[in-house]
Amino acid sequence: MQPFIEVKDLSFSYSLSEQEKIPVLSHFDLTIEKGSFVAILGHNGSGKSTLAKLFNGLQLPDSGQVLIDGKDTADEKNILDIRKNVGLVFQNPDNQIVATIVEEDVAFGPENLGFPQAELRRRVDEALKAVDMYDYRKHEPHRLSGGQKQRVAIAGVIAMEPECIVFDEPTAMLDPKGRQEVMNIILKLNRQLQKTVVLITHYMDEAAQAQRVVVMDNGKIIADDTPHAVFAQVELLKSVGLDVPQPTELIYQLKKAGIAFDKDVLTDEECLEALSRKFSEDEHCQ
Amino acid sequence: MLNNITFGQYFPADSFVHKMDARFKLLMTFALIVFAFVAFNFASLGLVAVFTVFVLLLTKIPLKMYFRTLKTIFIFILISAVLNIFYVTDGTLLFSYGIIRIYTGGILRAVFVAVRIVLLILISAVLTYTTTPTSLTDAIESLLKPLSKIGIDTHTFAMMMTIALRFIPTLIEETDKIMSAQKARGADMENGGLIKKIKSVIPILIPLLVSSIRRAKELADAMECRCYHGGKGRTRLKVLKAGRRDVVATISVCVLLTGIILLNIFI
């Protein structure tokens, strides 16, 4: 697979003053392939949000490199091209919406890129249809629900037609219904529209839906594998203050209580299957 | 409490006035406001009133929306009218008590002033009710464009206005939340004298200011992520375009002006 985002030996720190610096990431390496769906998990302060801002040149590394499709984010010439290709969706939809009408907000990105009017129209309509908000195109954003606002914010990024979309805790401020709506869009973007998706989250069930899970702690990667393999390391995740998805947790507790299961589970269905197999085995024994 | 502010809000409808070019609407609103001031007698003011009512009906917005706006500043209209009653000493004396003397001229003057203020409010309400804040800002940007030749950054100014308009409802909502939060902690905002009331605003203003600064930072990031780099090379989804209805409206406003001048001179 072709790499799309390459982070090479990156170090980054926030400076409080001339002398005082808080290191966030040090000697960090990460490669994200084109078309993949990667979830980045980590506790508050693990450096995961900073990483998102490094992906499109909103922050620049102190040392090391971030390459987007081979282009260095530190090079001023590349910046518009990189931001066009790596869209960023933030936590709070209220602070991402610029215009007072939904469709005008979605048009904001492409307008900045200077597309002619007919092209703007096509992009806005397609983006709004992709997030299922086309019927709301004339509405005022502040009258929409949290989930709807976040979908408008996502449409604003889709309208730039980026190769990759980075979501920085997009569901953290939403109710369960809004969370589900946004998760469905994220899955659709990756599976149907073949976008590279990076999902930064602290919800385990969301991370479990990705193809690859990267776990960060204190600016370092402590696990990087498929969701099954990562969530099998229950002890490791708990040691850095993270949880595992509820089905995994249930089987883990049962194992600890002395009941043997042959493999780890991730989804509700797998959990149900493992449990029913266990029950039928028990009946055979009796 | 803060949710029922209707002034300055857009009501979507499919009407002649809604479809007009915002630049023309803005200029004509100014013209009508000036007309309401230059109309010296009841006949010419009446003409402006008839025209205004005609425009109100054209907007297809329920008239009760306009009444609601008038209601919020009813007291202001009343005070301005009443003050005029006492200052005019024309006509026959109707009532006298001590130093208070009311003449017929005073009553007429009060009615005249009240009608004038009502017209001013209705005219500006038509503009804000039928024009989205975005097209209003676009209109201002477009009308100010000549100033960019002498080095004034009109794009940034228009962008600031758009963002301000966009965040008014968000900040109102936030103020409501902070007020509830402070009340829940026992803050008393209703009782006490003026000084105490002003003091009770501080615990609302400071969190509001802090959160606004945080919002501004996040919005700036989000705008940069969406490739914002000033007005250079930026295109627009909606471009203001003047059409036949704007010509029709301009001609009617000119006819109205002629009418006002004639009535002012001959009556």
Contacts with A141 (C-beta within 8 Å, 6 or more apart), sequence order? A97, A99, A100, A101, A102, A105, A149, A152, B166
Dihedral sign, Cα of residue B148, residue B150, residue B156, residue B162: negative
pLDDT of residue B6: 43
Residue pair A93/A153 in contact (Cβ under 8 Å)? The answer is yes
Q: What percent of chain A has pLDDT over 70?
A: 99
Q: Which amino acid is at B181?
A: A
Q: pTM for the full model?
A: 0.80
For B114, the token pair is: 């009240």
Bridge partners (DSSP) listed for residue A38: A198, A212
Question: How many of the other CB atoms lie within 10 Å of CB of B205?
Answer: 11
Higher pLDDT, A283 or B180: B180
How many interchain CB pairs under 8 A, A with B? 97
Q: How far apart are CA B150 and CA A7, in angstroms?
A: 46
User: What is the overall mean pLDDT for chain A?
Assistant: 90
**Which residues on adjacent β-strands are paired with residue A31?**
A6
A98 at B interface, C-beta within 8 A: yes
Pairing of the two strands A86-89 and B93-97 = unpaired
Tell me whether strands A196-201 and A21-33 are parallel, antiparallel or unpaired. unpaired
Region B100-128: mean pLDDT is: 89
Write the pLDDT tens digit of every residue in A1-31. Answer: 789 999 999 999 888 777 788 888 988 999 9
What phi, psi does B152 have (nearest 5°)? -95, 130
* pLDDT interval class at A242 (50, 70, 90): confident
User: Which of B237, B240, B241 is the mutation pick for testing A, counting most A CBs within 10 A?
Assistant: B237
- Map residue B64 onto helix, strand or coil: helix
The reported pLDDT for the residue numbered B207 is 93
Tell me what pLDDT residue B122 has. 93
Asked if the model's pLDDT at residue B236 lies above 80, the reply is: yes
Give yes or no for B175 touching A (CB within 8 A): no
Q: What percent of chain B has pLDDT over 90?
A: 38
Contact A157 B225 (CB under 8 A): yes
State mean pLDDT over A191-219: 92
At B135, which helix (H) or strand (E)? Answer: helix B133-148
Encoded tokens for A269: 């269905």
The residues, any chain, with a CB within 8 Å of residue A109's CB and separated by 6 or more, are A87, A156, A157, A159, A160, B226, B227
Any B CB within 8 A of A92 CB:
yes
Q: How is chain A split into domains, by residue range?
A: 3-227, 245-286
Whether B235 and A92 lie within 8 Å, measured CB to CB: no
Per-residue pLDDT, averaged over B80-97, amounts to: 81
| DSSP letter string, A195-246 | -EEEEEES-HHHHTTSSEEEEEETTEEEEEE-HHHHHT-HHHHHHTT----H
Burial category of A14 from C-beta neighbours within 10 Å (exposed 0-12, middle 13-18, buried 19 and up): exposed
Name the closest residue on chain A to residue B161, using Cα atoms.
Answer: A99
The predicted structure's pLDDT at residue B5: 47
Assigned architecture for domain A3-227: 3-Layer(aba) Sandwich (3.40)
Stretch B187-211: mean pLDDT: 85
Question: The sheet that has A21-33: what strands, in order across it?
Answer: A21-33, A3-15, A63-68, A71-72
pLDDT at A36: 95
Residue pLDDT, tens place only, A145-170 = 999 999 999 999 999 999 999 999 99
Whether residue A110 has pLDDT greater than 90: yes
pLDDT in tens, B35-60: 999 888 899 999 999 999 999 999 99
Task: Give every CB contact of residue A132 below 8 A, 6+ residues apart in sequence.
Answer: A151, A185
User: E-strand spans in B76-202?
Assistant: 93-97, 100-103
Cα separation, A32 vs A261, whole angstroms: 33
Nearest CA in chain A to B228: A112
The answer to whether A88 and B228 are in contact (CB under 8 A) is: no
Q: Which residues in chain B have Cβ-Cβ distances shorter than 8 Å to A87?
A: 225-226
Residue of B10, B14, B223, B225 best to disrupt the A interface, most CBs of A under 10 A: B225
> Measuring CA to CA, how many Å separate A118 from each of A17, A68, A156, B149, B230?
49, 29, 17, 29, 22
Query: Which of A137-146, A258-267, B38-47, B218-227 is the least confident region?
Result: A258-267
**3 state DSSP class of A56:** coil
Mean pLDDT of all residues in A32-47: 90
Query: pLDDT (tens digit, 9 = 90+) per residue, B125-164?
Result: 999 889 887 788 889 888 988 888 888 888 888 888 888 8
Q: Cα–Cα distance between B39 and B256 in angstroms, integer? A: 11
| pLDDT at site A286 | 62
Average pLDDT, chain B: 87
Q: Coil, strand or helix: which one is A64?
A: strand
CB-based contact A146:A173 (threshold 8 Å)? yes
Nearest Cα of chain A lies from the Cα of B163 at a distance, in angstroms, of: 6
| pLDDT the model gives residue B8 | 54
Do the Cβ atoms of B32 and B123 come closer than 8 Å? yes
Instruction: Name the more confident of B9 and A60.
Output: A60
Query: Which residue blocks in chain A are alpha helix, DSSP H?
Result: 48-55, 79-85, 102-112, 117-130, 146-158, 176-191, 204-207, 227-231, 234-239, 246-256, 268-285
- Measured distance CA(A232)–CA(A208) in Å, rounded: 12
Among B132, B166, B233, beta carbon nearest to A97: B166
